[in-house]
């Protein structure tokens, strides 16, 4: 927002209709504000857009108009989202419970619109990728717990909100009432849960990423098909997967590499061995020593500059570090980078920006038409039927043209 102050005729200023939808009208407060302005003048300019839409100062605007003002000091502001700005500029206002809930609903709607707009344009900044109770409560300056309680009260007994605002009952007391009556079914014990109820509770508790959800669902399906089970039920800390040699040979059938190759997440050497078998000079390193190559080498640490630049880089990176692997690989690779990643690697705002690189651009996605079988540490040694889509993402320095998709049977 700028600090550019101008004089503007009141008749040219358009109140934001959303303000009336969110905030109520208190005759006593209005009378006191009007008296203050009459005695002291308008101490703080109202805020408008360049289209003369009123964003902050609706109560002051109404007061000065009734006092006979013809014009008023205005602060010109530029906003990515006027509705979000309206709420943000009222952050320190004394609000009723209903007003807080109205603000939360508006923010939820606006964040949803931002998601539906798709990937951002170059240089454009978004308020948020997804709406969550945490982001809304943070924007409102209200604790997440307090906002959740107010939402529950509105859902089950909205008439209690008025009592809260009148000071007749606290938010905590009102929530206890609706919790006993509706959430616990009035008997002090939780009602029987179904799958959807427990699933939603788990989502609220852990807030997992979409990638984690898809991975866990797919692995569970695979295990049920083959009768396998997890060892310890824990995810491997470093996302160690065994890469089938057939996936590497498929890459080499469709992509040629000139010069030496660095495999910076070599694991037990599954990729490296296949590359060597095909006549390539390969340097194999890994963060973890798995009795192959050189262990203790953190590829994402710039100390790897001591290893030097290589002609090509081929690896199956930990999915959670995929973007960082690409960015780091571009620093230490002359010609081509090939990463085995889930097809969903195409998604994401941060990865979108990476894919716009023109100097070392994505050349081709070699997409497997089938879903490869990949063994994972932590599962019994039984083949899992492939449930996740994979492909080889190949970047080539100096490549001109749009990325292409090549299907591998």
Q: Domain segments of the chain: what residues? A: 4-87, 95-183, 195-226, 241-408
Q: Could you tell me which CATH number the domain at 241-408 has? A: 3.40.50.150
E-strand ranges in 221-356 read: 241-242, 261-263, 282-284, 310-315, 333-342
4-87, CATH topology level: 3.90.1530
The owner of tokens 């709406």 is 131
> What is the CA angle 309-324-113, rounded to 5?
145
pTM above 0.85, yes or no: no
Spatial contact of 281 and 260, defined as CB atoms under 8 Å apart: yes
**Cα–chain-centroid distance for residue 315?**
26
Give the distance from CA 166 to its chain's centroid.
38
Rounded CA gap, 198 and 215, in Å? 19
> Which pLDDT does position 339 carry in this prediction?
97
* DSSP one-letter string for 277-304: HTT--EEEB-SS--SSSB-S--TTSGGG
Angle at which helices 97-116 and 144-156 cross, to 10° = 100
Per-position pLDDT tens, the chain of length 409: 456 899 999 999 999 988 988 887 888 889 999 999 999 999 899 999 999 999 999 999 999 999 999 999 999 988 888 888 888 888 777 888 888 888 888 888 877 776 555 545 455 444 444 445 677 777 787 788 888 899 999 988 999 998 998 889 998 999 999 888 887 764 444 555 677 778 777 887 777 877 677 767 665 554 444 444 444 444 455 667 789 999 999 999 999 999 999 999 999 999 999 999 999 999 999 999 999 999 999 999 989 999 999 999 999 998 889 999 999 999 999 999 999 999 999 988 889 999 999 999 999 999 999 888 766 554 433 444 456 889 999 999 999 999 999 999 8
pLDDT at residue 380 in the model: 39
CA 287 to chain centre: 28
The pLDDT assigned to 115 comes to 55
CA distances (Å), origin 66, targets 33, 36, 39, 73, 317? 12, 13, 14, 16, 66
Token output for 373: 């079988």
Q: Under a CB-based contact definition with an 8 Å cutoff, are residues 278 and 252 in contact?
A: yes
**How many whole angstroms separate alpha carbon 152 and alpha carbon 162?**
14
**What is the C-alpha radius of gyration for the chain, rounded to an integer number of angstroms?**
29
């Amino acid at each position: 927002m700028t600090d550019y102050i101008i004089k503007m005729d009141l008749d040219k200023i358009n109140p934001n209709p959303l303000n009336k939808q969110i905030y109520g009208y208190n005759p006593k407060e209005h009378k006191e504000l009007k008296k203050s302005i009459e005695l002291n003048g308008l101490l703080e300019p109202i805020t408008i857009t360049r289209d003369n839409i009123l964003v902050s100062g609706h109560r002051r605007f109404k007061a000065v108009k009734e006092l006979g003002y013809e014009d008023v000091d205005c602060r010109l502001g530029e906003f990515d989202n006027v509705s979000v700005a309206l709420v943000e500029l009222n952050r320190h206002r004394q609000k009723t419970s209903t007003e807080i809930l109205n603000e939360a609903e508006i923010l939820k709607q606006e964040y949803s619109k931002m998601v539906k707009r798709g990937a951002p344009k170059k240089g454009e900044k978004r308020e948020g990728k997804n709406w969550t109770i945490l982001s809304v409560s943070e924007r409102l300056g209200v604790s997440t717990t307090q906002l959740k309680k107010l939402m529950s009260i509105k859902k089950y007994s909205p008439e209690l909100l008025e009592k809260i605002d009148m000071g007749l009952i606290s938010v905590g007391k009102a929530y206890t009432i609706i919790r006993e009556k509706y959430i616990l079914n009035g008997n002090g014990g939780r009602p029987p849960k179904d799958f959807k109820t427990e699933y939603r509770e788990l989502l609220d508790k852990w807030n997992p990423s979409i990638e984690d959800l898809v991975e866990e669902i797919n692995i569970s399906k695979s295990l049920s098909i083959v009768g396998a089970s997890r060892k310890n039920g824990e995810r491997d800390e470093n996302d160690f997967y065994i890469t089938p040699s057939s996936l590497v040979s498929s890459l080499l059938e469709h992509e040629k590499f000139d010069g030496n190759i660095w495999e910076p997440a070599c694991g037990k050497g599954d990729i490296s061995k296949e590359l060597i078998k095909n006549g390539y000079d390969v340097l194999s390193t890994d963060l973890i020593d798995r009795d192959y190559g050189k262990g203790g080498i953190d590829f994402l640490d710039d100390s790897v500059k001591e290893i030097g630049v290589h002609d090509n880089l081929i690896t199956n990176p930990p999915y959670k570090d995929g973007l960082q692997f690409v960015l780091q690989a571009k620093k230490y690779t002359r010609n081509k980078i090939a990463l085995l990643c889930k097809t969903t690697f195409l998604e994401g705002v941060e990865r979108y920006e990476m894919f716009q690189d023109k100097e070392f651009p994505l050349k081709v996605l070699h997409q497997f038409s089938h879903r490869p079988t990949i063994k994972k540490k932590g599962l019994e040694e039984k083949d899992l039927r492939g449930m996740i889509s994979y492909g080889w993402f190949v970047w080539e320095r100096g490549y001109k043209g749009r990325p292409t998709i090549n299907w591998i049977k």
